[in-house]
Copies of this chain bind each other. A is one copy, B any other.
Amino acid sequence: MHPRVLKALSVPLLGHLDPEFIRIMEETKSLLRYVFQTENALTLPMSGTGSAGMEACLVNLLEEGDVAIVGVNGVFGTRMVDIVERCGATPIAVEAPWGRIIEPAAVAAAIKKTKKPKLVAIVHAETSTGAWQPIEDIGQLAHDAGALFVVDAVTSLGGLPLLVDAWGIDACYSGTQKCLSAPPGLAPLTFGERALAVMRGRRTKVQSWYLDLSMIEKYWGEERVYHHTAPISMNYALREALRVIEEEGLEARFARHQRNHQALKAGLAALGVPMASQEGHQLPTLNCVSVPAGVDEAGVRRTLLEHDGIEIGGGLGPLKGKVWRIGLMGEGSTEGNVLLVLNALERALLHFGHRTEAGTALAAAATVYRNA
């Protein structure tokens, strides 16, 4: 987190209906519209983590008997399928191996085969695999079939281009603790006109009271009708984090993420640690890399944590024990962090028998930075 965000957390509380807090809510909505690149009126932070944002999108749009097409190539697509089922709807999974993208043609084929899909949902940035899903063309495919387009932007919002309006995204959600660099606990969400029309035309009440957007939009809207109590301190932090993003500018921010990713990737290649996600579709925010043969996967992570104070992720599901996941998100995507993790990893690999010349990784990264 930026020091200004840490500081915002420790500001004394206002009442959640205090006029001053309402001003903060309005500013936050406006800044969220900027990062989502949308004019959607219903753009706000839900009072839960990114997973609550996922559930909010699905429970507000789906009713019993609906059919939803879901891209599944990692933990979060799998989770969407689970939630679709809990809504009493039928999921049609479009699958790809973990680490690879889902081909838009496969989505198109599924849409064509499915009778009246209610929505098409896909993960923009799969945190569990590092795959960067192309989504620009899926909105049109969905709309042509009369379906809504729902996007999980948890590890993309604020870290890579995401154009909610231009790409025809009808409902989108994220989390605060990834590329926005606020603490975890809120789920930015935006609903466009098509999604609102579906929501307003429901036959049944939304199964979750807590996530019912028809009430939450009145609380965050001009009516200020009490629903729940917004997490005040978290909203202070989110607003400040969004202000930091606005000051940097999205374009500069995306370029920074890309530059640090390229430097990390070059350094890792020099160490003999290849990317595990699909070439040409690798996230700059979450770098998923293959553990070299013979190296103690968990041992390296433990060494980095205990010796260097660096936490990198292990693999999940079918990737367990096979990959490391190195996050370079928001405030964490810095030249200093890239150099630090490369040097620490080089040292840890040596300790576990994977030998390279001292400075090999750093030199490769330096070349990228020099040419950037």
Contact = CB atoms under 8 A, between A and B. Distances in A.
Chain A interface, DSSP helix/strand/loop, else mixed: loop
Given A9-B10, A183-B232, A85 B47 contact: no
Nearest to A82: B209
Contacts of A233: 9, 183, 185, 233-234, 237
A282 to B, nearest CB: 22
A86 B207 contact: yes
A185 B316 CA distance: 28
Contacts of A96: none
A173 B86 CA distance: 24
A1 B83 CA distance: 37
Contact of A205 (B13, B18, B85): B85
Contacts of A285: none
Interface residues of A, number: 50
A10 B12 contact: no
Given A85-B205, A209-B86, A231 B13 contact: no
A184 B226 contact: no
A48 interface: yes
Interface string A217-229: 0000000001111
Interface string A162-195: 0000000000000101000001110000000000
Interface stretch (A50-58, A260-268, A347-355): A50-58
A305 interface: yes
Contacts of A85: 205
A6 interface: yes
Interface in A65-111: 79, 82-83, 85-87
Nearest to A52: B210
Contacts of A185: 47, 185, 231-234
A12 B18 contact: no
A209 B218 CA distance: 24
A206 interface: yes
Contacts of A237: 233
Contacts of A341: none
A153 B13 CA distance: 22
Contacts of A305: 18
Nearest to A327: B15
19 contacts: A6-B10, A6-B11, A6-B12, A9-B9, A9-B10, A15-B311, A18-B311, A47-B49, A50-B229, A51-B227, A55-B210, A59-B208, A85-B205, A87-B207, A175-B229, A183-B233, A184-B230, A185-B231, A185-B233
